Each structure stands twice: as C-alpha cells, then as structure tokens.
Amino acid sequence: MNTATLPSLREGSTDAEVVKLQEILKQINFYSGVIDGIFGSVTKDAVVRFQREYGLVADGIVGSKTWSKLNEIGGGSMEWRKMTEAEEINEIQRIINHRMGVAALNLLALESFLGFQCTRSFYLNEKFGGNQRIMRVKCDPPRGASAAGAYEEIRIIFNLFEGFIETFDVERVIEGTEPKIKLPD
C-alpha cells in the first residue's frame, strides 16, 4: 500500500479508503464495529487507541504517519502459519468449548460446510501473539446456503482475548475471487 497516495481521513469521511482503514484496524484487533465505509465515532475511537498504542499523535485523524504505521503493522504483512496437528486439536477443543466457537460451527452447518467432502485447516497469526486464528473449510463440490451462492471455501477468523474467543468474522470465497487474507498452503 503506497501511503503517500492515500487521503487523510477523519470523522465524517466516507469512501473506499475508510473501508480499508476499518479492515486493517479490525485485523489488528483495534476495531470491532461494522465495516461500512463510514468514519464515525467508533472508527475514530479505534484510530485514537491505535495512535496511542504506537506513539503517534492521538488526534483520530488518519494522515500519512498513521497510514504508514497501519501499513507496517497490519497492511498485508500478516504472519500466518498453518497449525501443527497438536495445535489443531487444542484449537478444536477451544472452538467447541466456547459459545462463539459453537456459533461459528452452527454457521458452517447452516451453509452446508460440514461433511465428509469438506476439509478443514487451521492457521495462526503469530504477529499478534496468536490472538487471531483462522479455520479454513473447503468443500468439493462448492456449496452454500443457496444454489445461487456456491462458495469454494469459508474462512472463520477468530479473535481471542485472554485465551477466549471474543468475536469471529466470516469470509466466503467464491471461485475467481481473491481471499482478503493470503494463507500459506
């Protein structure tokens, strides 16, 4: 991401760059709101917390220094690795023993992403102390909640706090589209 060409953003901004900002802040666990492209008070609070954490002027305005730090910390340089077999077993136990994990499994069941033709793999983001994990489920043939929307894979991105699943996000990958997060295979 070339930070020199990105606009300054502040409360009241609305555009695709705000979506990028919200996505990065969410990836690095500073933003838990809806990714809607609207720079409101929740986005501003997340920006101020990020700026304080990284020693920037905490004014809630995303200028070149804040964009640069966001790019350095979370802009596509996430350090994902596939979990070992032992880590996968522990992760499955965590998922089935937490209500947010069970909610994610229910979503997979509703989308028909559980079954013998589906494979799952787990990934760990080491950049943030393992507090972000992905469960990737691929099925052959592609499937989904309706015949009109068949997905090649569904990714559940778990955000942990003190070892517990606090929130999760869902990414559905359709054939011919690039997933938001590049994972090692």
Q: What is the CATH number of the domain that holds 20?
A: 1.10.101.10
Q: How far apart are CA 31 and CA 146, in angstroms?
A: 31
Q: What is the pLDDT of residue 4?
A: 47
* Residue that is last in its domain, among 75, 104, 125: 75
Q: Which residue has the tokens 């909640």?
A: 145
For the chain, the distance separating the N- and C-terminal CA atoms, rounded to the nearest angstrom, is 24
For 185, the token pair is 């295979």
Provide CB contacts within 8 A for 121, sequence distance 6+: 82, 83, 88, 135, 136
For residue 123, the enclosing domain spans 80-174
Which uninterrupted H or E stretch holds 94? helix 85-96
**Residue 134 sits in the same domain as residue 165:** yes
Residue pLDDT, tens place only, 128-148: 667 788 999 988 777 765 555
- The pLDDT score that the predictor gives to residue 3 is 47
Secondary structure, 3-state, 20-63: HHHHHHHHCCCCCCCCCCECCHHHHHHHHHHHHHCCCCCCCCEC
Q: Is residue 6 part of a domain?
A: no
Q: What is the pLDDT of residues 154-175, one digit of tens each?
A: 899 898 877 888 888 888 888 7
Pick the most confident of 28-37, 42-51, 67-76, 140-149. 42-51
What residues pair up with 137 in beta bridges, in sequence order?
A: 120, 154
Please report the pLDDT score of residue 112 as a whole number: 78
Strand partners of residue 120:
137
* pLDDT bucket at 38, cuts 50 / 70 / 90: very high
> Which of the listed residues 54, 75, 96 is the one where a domain comes to its end?
75
Does residue 100 fall inside a structural domain?
yes
Averaged pLDDT score across all residues of the chain: 83
